[in-house]
Amino acid sequence: MQPAIPHILTVNGGSSSIKFALFAAGDSLTQILEGSIEGIGKPEATMQVKGLTAAESFSRPVTAPDHTMANQKMTDHKVAVDTLMDWLEERGGQDGLSAVGHRVVHGGPHYSAPERNASTMVEALRQLSPFDPQHLPEEIQLTEAFQRRFPDLPQVACFDTAFHHDLPRVARLLPIPRRYEAQGMRRYGFHGLSYAFLLGELARLAGPTAAQGRVILAHLGNGASLAAVHEGKSLDTSMSFTPTAGVPMSTRAGDLDPSLLWYLARTEQMSAQQFNTMVNFESGLLGISETSADMRDLLEHEAEDVRAAEAVALFCYQVKKWIGGFAAALGGLDTLVFAGGIGENAPVIRSRICAGLGFLGIELDETQNQTNAGVISTPTGTTQPIPSGSIGTALSCRPVTVRCCCTACCISPAMRCHSTKSNDSANGAGYAARIWFHRGQHLRTRYEVNRSETSEHLADDCRRQSDCAQAATRCG
């Protein structure tokens, strides 16, 4: 028996955690509870649930068997999955759910939209596992566990790569022998569910014109990437075949000279597996600082620890370079959006990234920036001189009126520069970008859930879970 109001569960399964949320799908989505199983594979693994009342909230240990089995990683994950299944059955099992939405990191070359889970799709994902061995096996295991426990419950897969599926060919091609393209080797891009959510909010809060403009989305968290978007479509993104590429991240290296592998293999006898471990789990902020992968720790110690200072400086420098490159690819910039735990909660990082980008029309209002206001750019942007030989003497920027709701996230309208005498003379010069950043608290306001946490994982998961829930509503 289905509940009177459809209840949709969204699940974000990873190698060391499973995060989930439950939504009531009436006229709009209302989040009922959220939870996670953290520390999978560790003795202190726990399941935490936070509902609307204290009675619905709890924390309990997740007991794993003795670590004596051959494939302990998958065994520990199975214990975590079974714990989640048991709890769902306590809540009423399939009778209490209408659909499940899964965040799936990699959709490969074929999946470009949410898909109803079927045996053929699960088998296709199994074939894609070499593309993403760190996530897909666990995500497949979750899907199969729901199928076994609740065989009649609709499941929908929402792919993090789908947003970038139709990148222009010049952006998705990898400069390696062409024969590898036939094997699915291309730029895929990730954080797509976050980007889709941000664009939807941009359209909702600033109007469709803003969302159709030239937008750079900067998702800066433990994992960090940027995307160049025009007319609502991804034109390029910093992550590539895997989420390791692009800007330096908490423990991921970002872009590297590929010959480093060959050099380290010769000089240190480093294997491919060891290299993969290094660039995914030992590099980035952690590798440079040698102390922490957490930006908050690095900012706290940068004054007395040059390693921390260099890690922060490298991160800001590389993000700034990608913004400049994407502005060139877009032919200008109307909107810059900061999201993710660092992007939302670190004013000093935003300030350092934007310093020196006045030639793009980016100028921060430091008072607004320091208080994490919705709009953190100056009201008028910057004034740029008209190129020599053009008609007119200056460009003036005209702001677009935008509504901002209290704790809600406000994302930018475009501020277009117009020549006082000639529109043609403004072409290609002096576009002022109003900068907004996405606050994780917005989703809580939107779904009428009062919570105070502003951690990076919660903000990121809220975006992913809401998109999965909406997709499950449509497909289920």
Catalytic residue among 132, 160, 236, 461: 160
Beta bridge partners of 104: 159
For residue 103, which phi and psi values (nearest 5 degrees)? -80, 120
What's the rounded Cα separation, in Å, for the pair 296 and 290? Answer: 15
Q: In what order do the strands lie in the sheet with 214-220?
A: 233-237, 224-230, 214-220, 335-339, 432-437, 414-419, 395-398
Could you tell me if 276 and 253 are in contact, meaning their C-beta atoms sit under 8 angstroms apart?
Answer: no
**Kind and range of the H or E element at 310?**
helix 306-330
Crossing angle of the two packed helices 272-281 and 259-268, in degrees rounded to 10: 120
Q: Which amino acid is at 82?
A: D
DSSP calls for 186-235: S-----HHHHHHHHHHHHHHH-HHHHTSEEEEEEESSSEEEEEEETTEEE
Dihedrals phi, psi of 12, to nearest 5 degrees: -125, 95
Told to judge if 76 belongs to the known catalytic residues of this protein, a careful annotator would answer no
**Quick one: tokens of 254?**
């970002």
Q: Active-site positions?
A: 160
